[in-house]
Amino acid sequence: MSTDAKQAKMDIDITPHDKGVLNCIFNPGLPYGDCVEEETPPVYINVESEEVKQVKVLELQAVKAAEAGDLPTALDLLNEAVTRAPDWASTYNNRAQVLRLRGDIQGALEDLNKAVELSRGEGKVSCQAYTQMGLIHRLEGDDTQAIEDFKKAAQLGSEFAKQQVVALNPYAAMCNQMLSEVMQKVRRGEQ
């Protein structure tokens, strides 16, 4: 094997640990272990633009306002962020959360769908949007749609969504109920 062939082979064969380290380098915003599998070419957004920097500041201020219970201020800040960067998907996710807290379910779902559209159904933003949609549909009593949303979020890597898919599975629920009944009988000393 030539030196060039050996070098090419070394470049291709990397361990899962190495992939995790590289993932942390190239995706510093994700927690360690949350991998971004790149089956399609990555989309690069100029996160250093002044517009995006301002929007990130507005989002952070909005989150702090919402955490303090000041939903009107949070909504105003997020509306301003959307006006400044209407193609920044993250802002729609955050605004959807505030809208949901204010009781505007339809507005929240519209923003979540916009976030998915802008992120093309890929990555962290879409994962969060699908998870939020699943929660909203679950709260609204639409478990069928909730399962579909959670499945999409699970495919994008959400462990919470995976748990929800299992929890909403009627067969899993039946098994859990049967297991619970058996355990209660065992505790009471019944056979």
Domain ranges of the chain: 1-36, 50-174
Do residues 75 and 99 lie in contact, with contact meaning Cβ atoms separated by under 8 Å? yes
Average pLDDT over residues 57-68: 86
| pLDDT at position 5 | 38
Does the predicted model carry a pTM greater than 0.85?
A: no
pLDDT tens per residue, range 101-145: 888 999 999 999 999 998 888 888 888 999 889 989 888 888 888
CATH number of 50-174: 1.25.40.10
| Euclidean distance between CA atoms 185 and 163, whole angstroms | 27
Average pLDDT over residues 84-106: 89
Residue 18's alpha-carbon distances to 4, 13, 148, in angstroms, are: 22, 10, 33
| Euclidean distance between CA atoms 117 and 110, whole angstroms | 10
Residue at token pair 């729609």: 92
The residues near 74 (Cβ < 8 Å, ≥ 6 apart) are 62, 63, 65, 66, 98
**Has residue 77 got a pLDDT over 50?**
yes
**Has residue 2 got a pLDDT over 90?**
no
